[in-house]
Structure 1
Amino acid sequence: MEKKGKKKKKVNGKKNENENKNKNEIGKAMVKATAKKVTKEEENKEINKNLNQNERMEEDRERKGKGKGKGKEKEKEKEKEKEKEKDEGKEEGKGKSKEKVKGKVKEERERETKTRIKKVIKIGGSCLHDLASIKNAISLISREHERTAIVVSALKGVTDLLQHAYYLALGQSGDFRGVVASLKQRHESLALELVHPAIMPQLQLKFQSIFASLNSSLQKIFLSREALPGDRARILSQGERLSAHLLAASLESAGIKTRVYETDGIGLVASEVSGKVRVNLEKFDFNFTRIAEEIVVGRYLPIFTGFFGSDEQGNVILFGRNSSDYSAAVIARGFRAERLELYKDVPGIFSSDPSLVPEARLIPRLSREEASLLGFYGARIIHPDFWQPLEGLETEILIKSFSSPENQGTIITPTPSNEVENTRHKIAPEKHGLIKGLVLKDGLTVLKIEPQKSSDQSKLIKLQKILAEKDGKMIAFIPLINDFIFILSDISAESLALIADSVRENPIETYSIEKNLALIAAVGSGINQKSAVSSRILSVMTYEKITPRFFFAFSENPVILILVQSGEALRALRQLHARLITSRFSGNRDISDDHLFIS
């Protein structure tokens, strides 16, 4: 029993042992399986982790790529913005540079406007005669607010004295020395009153040089008993040199910086043409450019001598007596001046000569054509050649009284006013029918020729040239339908004989010479377009029982010419002025000429 129990125990122990073994193996297997499972899970986790990391890295890369892309885009945008800003900056810079250029141009224009010579003032010799008159000139010039150039004549009477000294020397009279001594004393006395002691030595040196040259020229003539070409011109030009240097030193003493330009040394080249000395304007324009630029930079007051220039060889050449107006016109041309002021011993241009017609009135405004016609037919206010240098320029001319510069004077414009008020209406210049001035020229001769055939006309043109070169002056050459009229002044008996001989030689059958005639010229814009003006003149003449010898109205020029006997000329002039000019004024009240018309 015990053996069976022991067996059973043994069997049961083995069984338990096997079960335990199996359990252990199962446990181990389970552990292994669990371990494998855990390992797999861990592996999976690791894999997942790695995958996740890879994914995240990819995502990061993508994000970074995108970020970089965006960054690049932003950078590109920034670069674009910068480029845009640069472009805008450039444009702004261009705009600024353009503005700068415009600003510079504007500044240059303003500087040029401030520095260029806008006005030329000419002071005539009849104005400068004593201490008070020179002080008046200094005061007048000192009041100028814009840049100005001055043209000056010799002191009153000096040119006559120089000419007297010249003829004394030529006539072997030593009295020329006394004339020169008196001129020297006159200028030095004025200098002592006008010029500051610190400036006086410089002026004295200049005076010594001028008077040494003058004495030398006269002494040579005196000793040689003859004058060389150019001697007279050199002697007479010294008056303007003395006047210019005296005025300059006086202005320097008043605190105005000046410089004198003697006009035989500035390229003002002239030559004689048909008995008249004329400046070569083309050469002058070229030569004067450098001097004009020098003056603009110099910032001083330029003072020019009138009356003379130089020939091609540099010798002094005169423009003729009372020709400083012409000199001033040439200088105004050189500067392209806007205004030229002529100061004279008269208030301006009058409707007629006040010494002949006491009721003559100052004309406030004229066109250049009107003024030149008045001058051509006898008004002696402006030199007859004055207008030539101003052709093509818009320079306005003002003629004023030197003693009363505050007074109105006469303004001469390049063209008539475009429109003129007549009560409430505006009337064009060619329709004015307004006589502004009447000029009388006495002592004339009229040559009337009736050509036999048309071929004789060429011979008449030749005769015209002969007459123009003779001692007389041809006032007008008027070709009519059947005959030709020559109006001549200052004709000598010799010239009249020459005319008769020329006519006989041609041969021309019919001619007549009529002497002792006077010419009255009526001038005014539009009178050549209004037949009523001619009718009115003729009616006045008929009423006064004055028979015109000749009567000419021209379609091209605003002038009417009436030739009468010399004995009736003054009465005709006064009656025409009274009926056609004075009658346009009501009582003592002044009415502007621009409002008065012939109906």
Structure 2
Amino acid sequence: MAHSLLVMKFGGTNMQGAAAIRHSASLAARSIREGAKVVVVVSAMAGVTNGLLRLAEAAQGGDIATANDEIAAMRTRHFTAAQDLGATPDSATVREIRELHETLRQAVYGVYLLRELTPRSRDLIVAFGERLSAPLMALALGGQGYQAHHLTGGQAGIVTDEHFGNARPLPGSYERIGDRLGGLLDAGITPVVAGFMGENEEGAITTLGRGGTDFSATIIGKALHADEVWAWKDVDGVMSADPRVVPDARNIERLSYGEVMELAYFGAKVLHPLAVTPLQESGIPLRVKSAADPDFPGTLVGAEADGDAAHPVKAVTAIRGVSLINVTGAGVLGVPEVVASLFAAIARENITLLMVSQSSSMSNVSLAVQSADARRTLAALRGGMTGELKVEEQPGVAVLAIVGAGMRGQKGVAARLFSALAGEDVNILMISQGSSELNISVAIDAAEVDTATRAVHAAFGLGQEAGATA
């Protein structure tokens, strides 16, 4: 079936080496052959983003030798892939990869000299992954007989705010992207865009947060009024649970935008939590597809979900590495401004709260945050609060969430969740239900998270064929 315009996103495992890149290019080529216009958005080669973060931190710590070794290894890896994809040593692609690595080396040396890694320099360094993989994809498409042109996120027109590490596109981006990429498509050229990155109004490189390549793809999809955005993954679409934890996890055929956002927020490594937001206003569907099985329809994400009374819950997911921050103090929290100052202190530090609960006696508030943010949270609260309050961290926690639009108005869902957990002697530390009624989440001991996930998955019959009753 010919779609007139598709945006295709390829993740790191679908870009991990020459063979994977060639396969990904063939998936794009297949739709172009069927008459579609395609924009390709790529992630860095698997493992490169983490490597870049490591070498930036090594340079900040004064270990320039480790940083340089890592850069040399990365350079070899990209050269090898370019060669396997048919680039000659004096080709433009090889020249560009060499120049990019030289610029990266200089940026990293600057960090080493200053012993300072600012969010701005971290973004510059970490975006090299996508800047290096985009030329390889353009090369692979060329090898299959299609004219391709690669661009950075900024060149493609993605202009963002100043929020380095977690930037958001500015409204003016959409028109700019439409002009720049539309022009290439009209000329019969396939644009290959480096995902995960944009630039601010001064032209400094920004990144859109972990998993940001999905977000790049949906921003571009909205700008071009695409028919669909396809996120190619190494799994069969969105699963009912992490298949490594739950062997009978299944593909979910349809999800609403709201459900997929909840799943992403609660740790399902499916999509960037904001990835669907650009599509929501225009109702553009997002399809999560398996690169290993391109004919499998995968998961279709759209405005409406399937209502299935027998399966009110679609998926169970977990965030590991969580800490509870407990703020206690007799009666002090009855004062609204104290609660306000608590949240203000957290907002200033830009810390994501996973869950919040407050006891009715108002003498304590518990906040669930990623353990990586715990130290900053404690410092922010202790700095921003009056002396009578005690702030303590309880580490080693996980948040388990069940997600599904069918929970709305259906009785007994929470009861089934709690009895499944009780059946496994899992102690619940904290409970929160979203007002949207799309999720119920509980904080539990991290050691019990796998057992709990399997028990809850079974309790809601998620391993069975849709339509089969539990």
TM-score normalised over the length of structure 1? 0.68
Worse-superposed segment, 485-494 or 304-313: 485-494
- 1:529 Cα deviation after fit: 0.8
1:392 partner amino acid = E
Q: Which residue of 2 aligns with 1:477?
A: 356
- 1:270 Cα deviation after fit: 1.5
Deviations 1:65-89 (A, max 9, x none): xxxxxxxxxxxxxxxxxxxxxxxxx
Aligned counterparts of 1:542 and 1:222: Cα–Cα separation in 2: 52
Q: Which residue of 2 aligns with 1:489?
A: 370
Q: Which residue of 1 aligns with 2:207?
A: 318
Q: Which residue of 2 aligns with 1:133?
A: 20
- 1:174 Cα deviation after fit: 4.5
Q: 1:433-472 counterparts in 2 under 5 A?
A: 434-442=312-320, 443-445=322-324, 447=326, 452=331, 456-470=335-349
Contact 2:341/2:384, CA 8 A, preserved across alignment: no
Contact 1:117/1:335, CA 8 A, preserved across alignment: no
Q: Which has the higher contact order (CA 8 A, sep 6+)?
A: 2
Which of 440, 444, 447 aligns to 1:560? It is 440
1:307 partner amino acid = F
Report the secondary structure of 1:392's partner residue. helix
Contact 2:257/2:280, CA 8 A, preserved across alignment: no
Report the secondary structure of 1:411's partner residue. strand
Please state if 1:192 is matched with 2:79: no
Q: Work out the percentage of aligned pairs sharing the same amino acid.
A: 23
- 1:152 Cα deviation after fit: 0.7
Aligned counterparts of 1:250 and 1:501: Cα–Cα separation in 2: 54
Aligned counterparts of 2:105 and 2:251: Cα–Cα separation in 1: 45
Report the secondary structure of 2:258's partner residue. helix
Q: Which residue of 2 aligns with 1:5?
A: none
1:489 partner amino acid = Q
Contact 1:534/1:553, CA 8 A, preserved across alignment: no
Q: Which residue of 2 aligns with 1:48?
A: none
Deviations 1:81-113 (A, max 9, x none): xxxxxxxxxxxxxxxxxxxxxxxxxxxxxxxxx
- 1:452 Cα deviation after fit: 4.3
Q: Which residue of 2 aligns with 1:297?
A: 186
Change (3 A) 1:523 1:316: same
Please state if 1:124 is matched with 2:14: no
Aligned counterparts of 2:337 and 2:352: Cα–Cα separation in 1: 21
Report the secondary structure of 2:428's partner residue. coil
Change (3 A) 1:128 1:460: same
Q: 1:105-254 counterparts in 2 under 5 A?
A: 118-144=5-31, 145=34, 146-170=36-60, 171=62, 173-174=64-65, 176-195=67-86, 201-221=91-111, 230-254=120-144
Change (3 A) 1:189 1:367: same
Aligned counterparts of 2:319 and 2:97: Cα–Cα separation in 1: 42
Change (3 A) 1:148 1:549: same
Change (3 A) 1:487 1:283: same
Q: Which residue of 2 aligns with 1:532?
A: 412
Change (3 A) 1:371 1:230: closer
> How well do the aligned residues superpose, as a CA RMSD in angstroms?
3.4
Q: Which runs of 5+ in 2 are unaligned?
A: none
Contact 1:162/1:235, CA 8 A, preserved across alignment: yes
- 1:226 Cα deviation after fit: 5.8
- 1:147 Cα deviation after fit: 0.8
1:441 partner amino acid = I
Q: Which residue of 2 aligns with 1:53?
A: none
Segments ≥4 residues shifted beyond 6 Å: 448-451, 510-513
Q: Normalized per residue, which structure has more helix?
A: 1
Aligned counterparts of 2:290 and 2:358: Cα–Cα separation in 1: 40
Aligned counterparts of 2:53 and 2:376: Cα–Cα separation in 1: 28
Change (3 A) 1:533 1:448: farther
1:576 partner amino acid = V
Deviations 1:449-477 (A, max 9, x none): 69948972233133123224448641123
TM-score normalised over the length of structure 2? 0.85
How many positions carry a matched residue from both structures? 461
1:207 partner amino acid = I
Contact 2:167/2:209, CA 8 A, preserved across alignment: no
Q: Which runs of 5+ in 1 are unaligned?
A: 1-113, 418-428, 586-590
- 1:480 Cα deviation after fit: 7.2
Report the secondary structure of 1:277's partner residue. coil
- 1:310 Cα deviation after fit: 0.7
Contact 2:156/2:181, CA 8 A, preserved across alignment: no
Aligned counterparts of 1:550 and 1:221: Cα–Cα separation in 2: 42
Deviations 1:293-345 (A, max 9, x none): 41342121111011211112111112233321111121112112121111122
Structure with bigger gyration radius: 1
